[in-house]
Amino acid sequence: MTEAAELERPAPAARVPSASQRALGLLRREAVLAPLGAFVLAILLTWPSVRHPETTIPQDIYDPLMFAWALSWPGHALFSDASLWQANSFFPESDTFAYSDTLLGYAPLSLFGHGPVAALVRYNAMFVLIAFMAFLGGYFLARQLGSRWQGAVVAGTVLAYAPWRLSHGGHPNVISVGGMALMFAALARGHGYSFRRGFQPGEIRPGWAAAAWAIGAWQLTIGFAVGLPFAYVVLLICLAGGVGWLVTGRRPLPRKLLIADGLGALLFAVTGALMAIPYQRVADRYPEAKRGIEQVKFFSPPLKAFFVAPPESWFWAPRQVAARAAIPFVPEMTLLPGLAVLLLALAGIAISVWTVKQRLALVAITAVATILAMGTSFFGGTYSYLVLLDHLPGWDALRTPGRLMIWVTFGLGLLAAGAVTAVIDRMSAVLSRLQATNDEAEPAAVAGTGRVPAFVAAVALVPALLVLGEGLNNTPHPVVPTQPSVMADAQGPMIMLPSGSFPDMWAMYWSTSTYPKMMNGSSSFNPVSLQQAQQAVAGFPDAASVEYLHQHGVKRVVLVTGMTPGTPWENAANKPVDGLPLTRTVRPDGIIYTLTN
């Protein structure tokens, strides 16, 4: 072929990747792999939540059912003339949706479905979502700070599946921490900051900063049980960042970043204030809603509690029966973060990719969080927890210091991630020196950006597997009591009998069919009026109880006969109603009494 012909020959067309190749390339991206892995892990570690989501619920059939009702209420309020904060429980009290954490951030789930079965399905979906977000948040936070992905897996696993969390399987408001970690990760990314590289002005991303504040505002809407300490931590981070900016020479910051931070912080503050208003009204109306020192003392865990796992722990439960028996209140005082992560965190103090100052800061954060989590068990709490109780606004609404264990796991997880990453980097560097064919192999490995040999990557997953193993659970998933027909079409104002702390949780859950106004209710705070009502109707049906209900605007009484044995209403179904101003409608599973005047 002549030279001219060679020049005239068309260049070969660029090879276009097939759809499968493009999909495979997408799946190899960390931004896709990490959420996908987190989702699969959430399904496996919360199993069998998705097996029978329409009939079972994690942990027990009490608090989770109350939260299933809370998760359903916003959707009803949106599509009816009901007010969000004036829920159908605790009639005739007001602001009853603010008697406990609302889980309002998960309200979009309440837009789908109706009734008790839908309430169960969305609760189980939320339960899986909580684990998914917690792992993803811990993972991306560690990655943003400079951890290799194997170390980030450890951090995410600790935050999402540490043994102590298992005792709170019925408290979704307590274990919903993913928003916190995601906010911190996005905030650091938006400001171009990491532990390993420090502040990088060229990596500032105002959009990420804005997203961080939005995520933080969302986290506040879950509730104040963990949201209030979170808000104070965010405030401390802002103060520390401001001081750091002043000390390092007041570097000029992009105008877009300042706007994102200003508007974002305003959104965060306004969200917190709007959420606090109904709670403050409740506190003003009921001073007893504030937690006194006696309650704090009762829930303050001893130091040994941090080494005891809850009975839901698959590995530790059968090995710590005696240790749990020595704990005063097991549900709130089994605070083991995991032996594996404790050892990794200790190793991370000596061997880490974080600087000495960063390690010391993480140790200090972990130590302070541990001391505060002990409440009054740490030298009476005089110079620790009680200082916050006496001086920080809103802190008197918190009664369980052990829930500050959340912040202990943040510190331990990041210390562990630093240690795992350091080991990987050192092993990679050694292998690079042995196998290198050029001078660039070692620096890339040391910098933490080079390829990790397959052998090293496999060995580096062992710590994550050990941490994950301690997160395996035997959490029960009991079958939820079927809604009785007398509650399926219940109309209010009403009261369901029997009434009490546990039966009222069932009543709230069953009320998701019609949401009748009812005296029944159960939450972290119960008004005195409910106790008075339960005492006043203990003899129902009789003249005194009927008169009491009439005076308080109650029109119907629903007696669930299958629940009455062992209660004051055990023989209520057999009591005559002659001469009383009410009628009876008998059904196979109960009786509906209607007051006639």
pLDDT for 460:
82
Distance in angstroms between the alpha carbons of the first and the last residue of the chain:
109
Cα–Cα distance between 204 and 408 in angstroms, integer?
29
Is pLDDT of 5 > 90?
A: no
Nearest to 536 by CA among 522, 521, 547: 547
Question: Left, alpha or beta for 32 (phi > 0: left; psi -120 to 50: alpha)?
Answer: alpha
Across 146-156, average pLDDT: 96
* Per-residue pLDDT tens digits for 219-233: 999 999 999 999 999
pLDDT for 540:
96
Q: What's the whole-number average pLDDT of the chain? A: 91
Is pLDDT of 21 > 60?
A: no
pLDDT for 134:
98
Q: What is the DSSP letter of 587?
A: E
Which residues are CB-contacts of 573 (< 8 A; sequence separation ≥ 6)?
Answer: 559, 561, 564, 591
Higher-confidence residue of 172 and 10: namely: 172
Across 279-301, average pLDDT: 88
Is pLDDT of 257 > 70?
A: yes
Burial class (CB in 10 A: 0-12, 13-18, 19+), 530: buried
Is pLDDT of 439 > 80?
A: no
Helix axes 63-78, 116-145, angle to 10 degrees: 100
Q: What is the DSSP letter of 511?
A: G
Torsion from C-alpha of 251, 255, 261, 267, nearest 10 degrees: 160
Across 245-254, 280-289, 452-461, 502-511, the highest mean pLDDT is recorded for 502-511
pLDDT for 524:
83
Across 261-283, average pLDDT: 96
Across 487-498, average pLDDT: 96
Long-range (24+ apart) CB contacts under 8 A made by 199-202 are 199/248, 199/251, 201/251
pLDDT for 570:
95
Cβ–Cβ < 8 Å for 188, 242 = no
Work out the widest C-alpha separation in the chain, in whole angstroms: 118
Cβ–Cβ < 8 Å for 119, 482 = no
Is pLDDT of 432 > 90?
A: no
3-state SS class at 592: strand
Report percent pLDDT > 70 for the chain: 93
pLDDT for 22:
59
Across 382-386, average pLDDT: 94
Across 64-89, average pLDDT: 95
Instruction: pLDDT band for 16, please (50, 70, 90 cuts).
Output: low
DSSP codes, 243-298: HHHHHTT-----HHHHHHHHHHHHHHHHHHHHHHHHHHHHHHH-GGGSPPHHHHHH
pLDDT for 167:
94
Is pLDDT of 377 > 50?
A: yes
Phi, psi of 590 (to 5 degrees): 170, -175
* Per-residue pLDDT tens digits for 304-331: 999 999 999 999 999 999 999 999 999 9
Cα–Cα distance between 533 and 512 in angstroms, integer?
22
pLDDT for 54:
96
Cα–Cα distance between 484 and 125 in angstroms, integer?
24
pLDDT for 18:
65
Is pLDDT of 27 > 90?
A: no
pLDDT for 7:
47
Q: Which of 212-216, 267-271, 423-427 has the lowest mean pLDDT?
A: 423-427
Cα–Cα distance between 470 and 338 in angstroms, integer?
6
* Per-residue pLDDT tens digits for 453-474: 777 778 888 999 999 999 999 9
* Per-residue pLDDT tens digits for 118-137: 999 999 999 999 999 999 99
Cβ–Cβ < 8 Å for 403, 396 = no
Cα–Cα distance between 383 and 180 in angstroms, integer?
27
Tokens of 252: 């000029």
Is pLDDT of 3 > 70?
A: no
- To which residue do tokens 């509730």 refer? 223
Helix axes 501-510, 63-78, angle to 10 degrees: 40
Cβ–Cβ < 8 Å for 306, 335 = yes
Across 246-263, average pLDDT: 89
Phi, psi of 495 (to 5 degrees): -140, 135
Instruction: pLDDT band for 23, please (50, 70, 90 cuts).
Output: low
pLDDT for 362:
97
Is pLDDT of 295 > 50?
A: yes
3-state SS class at 138: helix
Across 500-511, average pLDDT: 96
Report percent pLDDT > 90 for the chain: 81
Across 263-268, average pLDDT: 98
pLDDT for 28:
67
pLDDT for 459:
81
